[in-house]
Amino acid sequence: MLIAPDPKPVPNLEDGKAGFADQPITIALAKGALLPEAIQCLQEVGIDFSRFLDPSNRLLRIESPSRWQGQRYAALLVRTHDVPVYVEYGQAQLGIVGYDVLRERYAGREARVAHLLDLKFGYCRMSVALPKESPYGSAAQLPPHARVASKFVGCAREYFDRLDLPVELISLYGSVELAPITGMADAIVDLVATGRTLAENGLVERDCLFESTARLIAHPISYRIGRYPIQELVAQIRERWLGSVSDLSEPHPSQSWFGQL
C-alpha cells in the first residue's frame, strides 16, 4: 500500500492563521461498512474522498480535489479501531467511526477525543446473545463466573460490572458465534444489525448494552483553538447532512470532550 506525499510544506503552527488553508485538515476514515456513507457525508460539504472507493486504489492517504472555503482536506484510510488513535494523537484533526469503537477504546477510562456529532448511519447494537437452548433468559441470569466471549471485552466488562456479576471474559478476534457452538462460552457480547447471523448459528439476542451509529470525532485542541476552520465545517455537516443547525457550544448529552462517552 502507498501513501501519497504531501505536495506542500506544512506551515509552522506559530505562524498563526495565515497560511492554514495550505495545511490540510486531515480526516481519519474507517475501512469497511461505514466508508461509503462517510464519503457521501463529506461530499455534502464539498469534500471528495471517493477515490477510496475505487477498487484499483492503493493509496492510504489522499487529498480532496475540491476545497471548501479554500481549505485543503486530506484523508487517512485506516482500520476501524485505529480511527480514534490517529485523532487522539493529533495525526488527524477529525475522524468518522462507530460509537462501539469509541466505547471499547475508552472503556473504564477518560475519552481523549471530542465527540461532536451522531451522523445517523451505520446503525447496530451491542448485545448479549445466548444459545436458543440456554436455560438462562437474560445476561443477569447467568451464573457467577460464566464464560462470555467477545471482540469487545471492555464493553462487556463494563456491562457485567454494572450487573455486579463476575464472569470470565474470553477475547476473540474472529466469529464469536463459534464460542457457544463449541462449548467454549455460555454467552457472547457482539454487534448485531439484523440478527440474521445470530439466528443462523442458534443464538438469540437477549440484552442490548447500547446502540451504535457513526460518530464525528475531533482532536480536542485542534477543535478548540480555532486555528483550523473545523467548527465551521462541523456546522456545515450538521446542516447539510443532518438537516439542522444547533449551537456547537452546547454539546448533545451523548457528546464528550473528556471523560466517559
Closest CA to 216 of 226, 203, 230, 204: 230
Buried b (16+ CB within 10 A) or exposed e, 160-175: beeeebebebbebeee
Q: Which amino acid is at 94?
A: L
Model confidence pLDDT, tens digit, residues 85-116: 999 999 999 999 999 999 999 999 999 999 99
Are residues 117 and 111 in contact, defined by beta-carbon separation less than 8 angstroms? no
154: CB partners within 8 A, 6+ apart: 103, 104, 105, 107, 108
Which grid cell is 236? 456545515
3-state secondary structure 227-257: CCCHHHHHHHHHHHCCCCCCCCCCCCCCCCC
Whole-angstrom Cα distance, residue 56 to residue 79? 18
Whole-angstrom Cα distance, residue 135 to residue 169? 20
Whole-angstrom Cα distance, residue 77 to residue 253? 29
- The dihedral region occupied by 33, where left means phi > 0, alpha psi between -120 and 50, and beta the remainder, is alpha
Are residues 78 and 1 in contact, defined by beta-carbon separation less than 8 angstroms? no
Helix (H, G, I), strand (E, B) or coil at 10: coil
Q: Which amino acid is at 120?
A: K
pLDDT in tens, the chain (261 residues): 444 444 444 333 334 444 455 789 999 999 999 999 999 999 999 999 999 999 999 999 999 999 888 899 999 999 999 999 999 999 999 999 999 999 999 999 999 999 999 999 999 999 999 999 999 999 999 999 999 999 999 999 999 999 999 999 999 999 999 999 999 999 999 999 999 999 999 999 999 999 999 999 999 998 888 666 889 999 999 999 998 434 444 444 344 444 446
Which residue ranges form the domains of the chain, and what is each CATH number?
A: 21-122+213-240 (3.40.190.10), 124-212 (3.40.190.10)
DSSP state letter for 40: H
Q: What is the pTM of this model?
A: 0.84
Model confidence pLDDT, tens digit, residues 178-199: 999 999 999 999 999 999 999 9
